Amino acid sequence: MAVLIDNDTKLVVSGITGREGTFHALNNKRYGTNVVAGVTPGKAGQDVEGIPVFNTFGDAVKETGANVAMVFVPPRFAADSILEAADAEIPLVVAITEGIPAHDELRVYTHLQRTGTRLVGPNCPGILSPGKANVGIIPASFFKEGNVGVVSRSGTLTYQIGNTLAQAGFGNSSIVGIGGDPVPGSSFIDIIELFQADDQTELIVLSGEIGGDAEERAAEYIAEHVTKPVVAYIAGFTAPEGKTMGHAGAIVSGSKGTAAAKAEALESKGVRVGRTPTQVAEIAVEILGG
């Protein structure tokens, strides 16, 4: 098993005829992901290297049975695209787009809670289940199949941690980037719940950063509901107060949201926290054996 995406994934990509959309849809297809359709309004009947394009998500679902949507359109159109995918009753939407207005994200989140569509992202690198499917922009060649599940707020940091884990001999069940925005569609808790239930996952790695209280909430959840070992990493110990560090959600406000407070919250619940990505891999070796 893996979480969220696997061999049964049928992917539909909105924005597939755009430069980035084409590049990454084809990249995902080359990896082996079953990319069944694209959506660009007004371009129905065209195809992108054999992937048929439809006017709407509804048409794409009807014709191809697509069950995962990837949103790759510019920020001003992204909320609308996510809502359209949900309207077509696609159960999982992965939004890569960075810079979606916060009020858009809030409305989308609230609506999706009611319709039952799961959103991963926005502003995320996507999901990779090594050996099965890749939806998004994670450079899959650095990862192999294995028993470590990774959930992260940051893209490149995930690659760094995944790489050090790989050098220590570990592969991954799935890697899920939940994104660095203040209102992500899925939280650490949502994904950890999936890893806890996933047979393939024997260790969960949580990669967090400054801002908000998602890590603190995850700590509480882990203490109550998770029996598998969890290792965490928090970025931003040296981040100054009041400055946004690249991600819209990464800001230390007052005494809240600091890396130290997050590490402490996790450690108080028995989660070991690596101080560097290398340490995360070392702890993984201690837990799972080298």
Partner 1 sequence: MDLLEYQGKQLFARHGIPVPDGRPARTVDEAVSAAKEVGFPCAVKAQVKIGGRGKAGGIKIASDEDEAREHADAILGMDIKGFTVHEIWIEGASTIEAEYYASIVFDRGAKAPLIMLSTQGGMDIEEVADSNPDAIATLHVDPLLGFQDFHGRKLCFAAGVDADLVRPIGAFLHQLYGTFVAEEAVLVEVNPLIVTPERGVAALDAKVTLDDNALFRHPDNANLRDPSDEDPQEQMAKERGLTFVKLDGDIGILGNGAGLVMSTLDVVAQYGGAPANFLDAGGGSKAEAITSAVEVILSNDSVKAVLFNIFGGITRCDEVANGLIEAFKQLNPSVPFVVRLDGTNDVEGRKILAEASLPNVHTAATMDEAAQKVVELAKGEAA
Question: Which residues contribute to the site for partner 1 (CB under 8 A)?
Answer: 75-76, 99-104, 106-107, 109-111, 125, 137-139, 142, 152-160, 163, 180, 182-183, 207, 209-210, 212-214, 217, 233, 235-240, 243-250, 254, 259, 275-278
Instruction: List the end-to-end C-alpha distance of the chain, in Å, as a whole number.
Output: 23
Q: Based on CB atoms, which residue is closest to partner 1, 15 or 52? A: 15
The single-letter code of the amino acid at 112 is L
Q: Is 287 annotated as a binding residue?
A: no
Q: Based on CB atoms, which residue is closest to partner 1, 36 or 175? A: 175
Element (H, E) at 193: helix 188-197
Q: Based on CB atoms, which residue is closest to partner 1, 59 or 213? A: 213
Tell me the C-alpha distance between 32 and 139, whole Å. 13
In the complex, minimum distance from the CB of residue 144 to partner 1, in angstroms, rounded to a whole number: 16
Q: Is 18 annotated as a binding residue?
A: yes
In the complex, minimum distance from the CB of residue 99 to partner 1, in angstroms, rounded to a whole number: 5
Which tokens is 182 given?
A: 């203040």
Q: Is 97 annotated as a binding residue?
A: yes
- Closest among 58, 60, 56 to 42, alpha carbons compared: 56
Q: Is 98 annotated as a binding residue?
A: yes
Q: Based on CB atoms, which residue is closest to partner 1, 146 or 274? A: 274
Alpha-carbon dihedral of residues 154, 92, 76, 211, nearest 10 degrees? -30
Q: Is 257 annotated as a binding residue?
A: no
Active site residues: 247
In the complex, minimum distance from the CB of residue 227 to partner 1, in angstroms, rounded to a whole number: 25
Q: Which residues of 203-217 are buried (b: 16+ CB within 10 A; e: fewer)?
A: bbbbbbbbbbebbbe
In the complex, minimum distance from the CB of residue 60 to partner 1, in angstroms, rounded to a whole number: 25
Instruction: Report CA-CA distances (Å) from 276 to 35, 223, 235, 264.
Output: 36, 23, 9, 15
Residues belonging to the binding site for substrate are 159
Q: Which residues are annotated as a binding site for CoA?
A: 17-20, 43, 96-98
